[in-house]
Amino acid sequence: MRKIEQKHAEGESIMGLERIDFIREQLKSKKVVYVNQLAEKLFVSPSTIRRDLGHLEKEGLVRRFYGGAKLMEHPSNEIPFFTRKEENLAAKEIIAELAADLVADNQVISLDATTTAATLPRFLHNKENLKIITTSAQIALDCLDLLLPARIFCTGGWLSATSRGFTGETTRMRIAEYYTDLAFFSARAFSWENGITDVNEEDVCLKQEMIRRTRKAVFLCDHTKFDQISYRLVCGAAELDCLVTDRRPSDEWLKRLESAGVEVIFPE
């Protein structure tokens, strides 16, 4: 007990995991950390800090440079699923509620492995006899826990930690086996010139397959995603049938989307 208090008095001579967590926080707020600074602050030797940063580098969280390390700007795909789910939660819920109105009884719908799509099932309680096709293990189990009156088909495949969904050739083939009334999907960015883009090559292929195999492709797109560009093309605006968002888009966007024949749904 005394020992611990003493340590606290001296500052935190933290150990192992907790120290690395501290470094993570520093990185989050400051983007850059320096070996000496951390060593001093944490009362450990620079060697230890170097080792820690080495671990974080292996994880892909930072890039080392001479004297310290810099936070790697992560595509949001690599932020843990449950953190991502909290981001813009209000927006996702607004979108999900509006999107749910598109669904009618007895339909077959598909959902991709995104946090936005994962918000949708909560609003499907009053639909009867749905079939839900999804690439997301998380969404599949969520539907069970919600006691949805629906049949759930999950593609299977290799499980991805970041999306908590499945990827790979098997997954794509499974999607291709179903033609759906509605396909709900999201992505990281939407710009007029570059269309819908996202970071993960494999996930993009799955979205494309979903879009190809549906009567009505519905893009769930919160306001933060407009006029952004990621790098891998999902599809152009013209290939959409419908876009659901949480705020009224600008007049310019509305005009563009209308001219492209995209039905736009937003609150009020």
CA distance 96 to 98: 5
Going by DSSP bridges, is the β-strand pair 217-220/182-185 parallel, antiparallel, or unpaired?
A: parallel
255 Cβ neighbours under 8 A, 6+ residues apart: none
Options 45-53, 149-157, 169-177, 190-198: segment touching DNA (CB under 7 A): 45-53
Q: Which residue has the tokens 């086996």?
A: 177
The least CB distance from residue 150 to DNA, in Å, is 18
CA distance 215 to 4: 64
The least CB distance from residue 144 to a second copy, in Å, is 5
- How many whole angstroms from its chain centre is CA 47? 36
Q: Does 104 bind a second copy (CB under 8 A)?
A: no
Q: Which of 6, 25, 45, 236 binds DNA (CB under 7 A)?
A: 45
Q: Does 66 bind DNA (CB under 7 A)?
A: yes
- How many whole angstroms from its chain centre is CA 78? 8
Which two structure tokens, joined as six digits, stand for 63?
Answer: 């890039």
Q: Does 48 bind DNA (CB under 7 A)?
A: yes
Q: Does 83 bind DNA (CB under 7 A)?
A: no
Q: Does 113 bind a second copy (CB under 8 A)?
A: no
Nearer CB in complex with DNA: 5/251: 5
Sort 225 into a burial class: Cβ within 10 Å, 0-12 / 13-18 / 19+: buried
Options 35-43, 128-136, 198-206, 251-259: segment touching DNA (CB under 7 A): 35-43
Site for DNA, rule CB under 7 A: 1, 3-4, 13, 15-16, 19, 35-36, 43-48, 50-52, 54, 64-68
